[in-house]
Every structure is written in structure tokens, then in C-alpha cells.
Amino acid sequence: MIPTVLITGRDGQLGFELRRALATLGSIVVVDKDNVDFCDLNAVRQLVRHTHPDVIVNAAAYTAVDRAETEHGLAQIVNGYVPGIMAEELRRLGGKLIVHYSTDYVFDGAAEQPYTEDDATKPLNCYGKSKLAGECAIQQAGIPYVVLRTEWLYATRGTNFLLTILRLARDGKPLRIIADQIGSPTWARMLADASARVITHFLTTSISDATTWSGVYHLTAAGQTTWHGFTEAILKESLERLKQLGRPLEWCEAALASLTPISTSEYPSPARRPAYSVLSNEKIARVFGIRLPDWHHQLHMALEDFTF
């Protein structure tokens, strides 16, 4: 029997990649906010009941980190309540698995070595609190689940740090970038491809094993850098790509020359960010045999796929 896979967040940077990566796994149903109001819990229930999926892959989320400080109720509904509603409905329908994406922001950033899944959570902002609530809701629903915590996600479409830097560089804006926050930039395509491997694993296993393998997993690029280091790499990789394509280089060279490291305190924002966000990927490597490439290699591949 061909499984039905419901993907939420269709047009987001991750949702787009999931549509490609999961296309061969079964009958794919993709929805976004244009199809369902994720602030309406009853509408979410009806979505699951109508679709009757075997697997839910929930990439829909409230992602406006700073705005969540004033819209915390809205963030809590979309990030905290909706994942649990989906999981509960899937269990009632006899579904097999829910995959949900969470964040490094469930930690406070005070660590000095990569966070494991067993480390205590302590979110600093409302966004992180809402995402942690979503994790807990899924865990309590009583169905096999995989929560994938990732970080510093980017893609060659949508709205993200990579595209913002390239836009600012093209516009000739000086780049003053935070150099005291550390994390692992992760390409959405890599996350989607790894998600497909996890889902395939569950679809080909017994229910008892699926329950055993349920849990929270960290899944990020290998290695670490700062936002400033990521920006520098974006510009240098872009410069090399422009040379290969025979395109004008001046805007990129000027952006590199303007790049200046600053501290978090020099760029205040409504929501506090963790200073150290590196996540350990050892658990998912041990259980599923998944290891993503180094962040710099991922960036190189992403920009090869980018239309300058």
C-alpha cells in the first residue's frame, strides 16, 4: 500500500526542498497557510482528518523570532499547539510517524561544547519557548515521532541569511555582521534529504521498532562558524562562482572590503539569541547512520545551484 505523506509549510525554504526529497516516498499532499489557517486548531484537525496521512512532515512554523516577543500568543499556537494537535489526530487515525522540525533556540547558549539531546533546555526568547512547547506536545501524543532540531537554516530561495547577505551586497550596503555568536549553517536541501532517509527507515520497520527509535535528534551541518565567518564565506564563494561564470565582480569585492565584525551588543534585537548554538550530531549518526557534510562544503554546493 502506498503511504500518504502530508507536508506542511509547502512554500517555505524547507518545505520546497521536502517536496523534492520526499516525492518518491508515496502519495504526497502539500499545504501551506493559503490552504489552512494554522492559527485555527480546528482547521488543523480537519486537515489531518481529511488527508488521512500515514506520515506528517511538519515544516510549518512561526519563524519571526523578534516579532514573537510581542506576538507570543500567536507563536505559541503555531509552534506550540499545532504540532501536538497534528500528532494527536495522526494517532487517532492509526498513522505511522510525525516528523517535526525544532531549533537550537531551545538552549540558552551558555555551553562550551556541542549540545546533546540530553542537555537541559533553557530557551532565552519566546520563539524558543514556543518551539520547545511543540516538542513536548508531540512527545506526549503517543505516536512514533522524530523531532529534528536544526539551526541557521538557509536555502537559495525564500527568506534567509544567505539571500539577505547577497541582496545587501548587491545593493552596496556596508556589512556589519555579528562575530560572537557561534553555530552551524545548514542547507535546507541537506536537511530535507536526510529527512527522507529517516522517514524511509520508519516506513520499512515494525511498529515496535518505530516506537523504540522515536525521539529528539539533532541534525545540522558539521563544523561551526560565526555569522561574520558565514558571511565572509558566502562572499568568497560567490566571488569564485562569479569568476567561473564570467560575471561582474565589483559588487562582491566591495562587499568583502566592507565586511566588519561586530558584537551582539552592537546589534541589539528584541529577542535574545544564544551565543553558542552548536549541536552534536552523534545520536542521529549512531541510530540512522546520517552525517551531514561540513557547513562550508554545503555552502559551496548551494551556491553552485544559485542563479547569480
Mean pLDDT, residues 64-69: 94
In this prediction, residue 207 carries a pLDDT of 64
Task: Map out the domains of the chain with their CATH numbers.
Answer: 4-158+184-224+278-294 (3.40.50.720)
CA dihedral sign, ordered 17, 232, 151, 273: negative
**Residues 212-242 pLDDT 10s:** 889 999 999 999 999 999 999 999 999 999 9
Whether the CB-CB separation of 4 and 31 falls below 8 Å is answered with no
Q: Worst-scoring range by mean pLDDT, 8-22, 100-114, 202-216?
A: 202-216
- Which has more pLDDT, 203 or 282? 282
- Geometric angle at alpha carbon 147, from 179 and 124, rounded to 5°: 40
pLDDT of 208 above 70:
no
Mean pLDDT of all residues belonging to the chain: 95
Q: What percentage of the chain has pLDDT greater than the value 90?
A: 90
> Long-range contacts made by residues 67-76, C-beta under 8 angstroms, separation at least 24?
67/270, 68/125, 68/126, 68/127, 68/130, 68/271, 69/125, 69/126, 69/270, 69/271, 70/270, 72/126, 72/129, 72/130, 74/39, 75/126, 75/127, 75/130, 76/126, 76/129, 76/130, 76/133
Confirm if 280 and 218 have CB atoms less than 8 A apart. yes
Q: Amino acid identity, residue 260?
A: T
C-alpha cell recorded at residue 86: 497534528
The CA-CA-CA angle for residues 32, 187, 62, to 5°, reads 35
For residue 5, the cross-strand partners are 28, 55
User: Which of 308, 259, 20, 292 shows the shortest CA–CA distance to 156?
Assistant: 308
pLDDT in tens, 249-290: 999 999 999 999 999 999 989 999 999 999 999 999 999 999
Q: Which three cell numbers stand for residue 252?
A: 562582491
Note the residue count of the chain. Answer: 308
- pLDDT number for residue 51: 95
From the list 127, 145, 217, 276, the catalytic residue is 127
pLDDT 10s digits, 138-159: 999 999 999 999 999 999 988 8
How large is the average pLDDT for residues 180-209?
91
Q: How confident is the model at residue 59 (pLDDT cuts 50, 70, 90)?
A: very high
| Predicted TM-score of the model (pTM) | 0.94
Q: Which residues contact 197 (CB under 8 A, 6 or more apart)?
A: 288, 290
Is 62 one of the annotated active-site residues of the chain? no
Model confidence at 7: pLDDT above 70: yes
**pLDDT over threshold 90, residue 305:** no
- 292 band by pLDDT with thresholds 50, 70 and 90: very high
